[in-house]
Amino acid sequence: MAAIAEGERMVRTGSRWYAGLTSPALWTLIALIVIWEIAVQVTHVPVYILPAPSRIADEFVAYWPRLVVNGSVTVMEILIGFVISILIGVPLAVLVTYSKVAERAIYPLIVASQTVPKVAIAPLLVAWFGYGLPPKIVVVVLLAFFPIVINTVVGLKSSSAEMLYLAQSMGSTAWQTFWKFRLPQAMPSVFAGLKLATVLAVIGAIVAEFIGADTGLGYVIVVAGSSFDIARQFAAIIVTTIIGMVFFWAVELLEKYVVPWKESSATDRE
């Protein structure tokens, strides 16, 4: 019985992988690109308004070395900002969950801080931290730490009263209750927060580079835009998109290892 179930599962994942390659969405995308190409060729839209996909592809290849250099800067900002967001967000969530005082003194401010438009703060950060890496990382953290805090708090609070009673009935210490009951219980929710944070971290890095930078994909997009080099802009946007997707997939992959007992749920919730 178990062997059959295992076999079925393999067939199912196998067919899903196959379906991924031939998914209808991929065909839709290809169709759109083809229509775009034909439309541009037929209507002769000027290249500084809308270049054809083939033109963007050429630019992509020609500018690839610079895209890699600038892309790696952006990736660095995203990763450092993301790690700092976790290092700040998770302990803060634990504090808010365990301390009534912290919940009432800090939590409302964290939530309220989200109404502040981050893009509006970015010039301030440039004034404070200059044009280097720090202001970008700060913007990434400001955007990314919020979903991590909120989702970790929700996760830690999702332990049922019965579960905590059960722990107590075993003589569980606060430390054991946290590590053996509350934190594992919170993990699916923590990962939902992390996945949201990956998306926001990419946005944060690009926006920060818009405001003041001399390197990075956001910088490439701004500079190319000011010289009407739309193809180069598209090339940079494509790289940004790929970075965002790979980052998201990496976190999703990690989730499958850390929380194998839970079906991924946050992906389709956004």
Partner 1 sequence: MSKTFHGRKGEVHALQEIDLKIQHGEFVSILGPSGCGKSTLLMLLSGLMKSSGGTIHVDDKRIDGPNSDIGIVFQRDVLLEWRSALQNILIQAEIRNTPLDAAQERAKQLLRMVSLQDFETSYPKELSGGMRQRVSICRALLHKPKLLLMDEPFGALDAMTRDQLQLDLLRLCSDDDMTVFFITHSIPEAVFLSDRVVVMSPRPGRIERIIDIDLPRPRRLAMRDDPKFVAYTRELTEMFMSLGVIREGV
Binding of residue 192 to partner 1 (CB under 8 A): no
Our CB check for partner 1 shows the closer of 238 and 259 to be: 259
Mark residues 58-77: x for contact with partner 1 by CB under 8 A, - for none: --------------------
Binding of residue 165 to partner 1 (CB under 8 A): yes
Our CB check for partner 1 shows the closer of 104 and 262 to be: 262
Binding of residue 257 to partner 1 (CB under 8 A): no
Residue in 23, 113, 160, 265 binding partner 1, rule: CB under 8 A: 160
| Three-class HEC string of the chain | CHHHHHHHHHHHHHHHHHHHHCCHHHHHHHHHHHHHHHHHHHHCCCCCCCCCHHHHHHHHHHCHHHHHHHHHHHHHHHHHHHHHHHHHHHHHHHHHHHCHHHHHHCHHHHHHHCCCCHHHHHHHHHHHHCCCHHHHHHHHHHHHHHHHHHHHHHHHCCCCHHHHHHHHHCCCCHHHHHHHHHHHHHHHHHHHHHHHHHHHHHHHHHHHHHHCCCCCHHHHHHHHHHCCCHHHHHHHHHHHHHHHHHHHHHHHHHHHHHCCCCCCCHHHCC
Compute the least distance from the CB of residue 180 to partner 1, in Å: 7
Binding of residue 256 to partner 1 (CB under 8 A): no
Mark residues 109-148: x for contact with partner 1 by CB under 8 A, - for none: ----------------------------------------
Binding of residue 176 to partner 1 (CB under 8 A): yes
Binding of residue 166 to partner 1 (CB under 8 A): yes
Q: By the criterion CB under 8 A, which residues form the site for partner 1?
A: 160, 162-163, 165-172, 176, 180-181, 184-185, 187, 259, 261-262
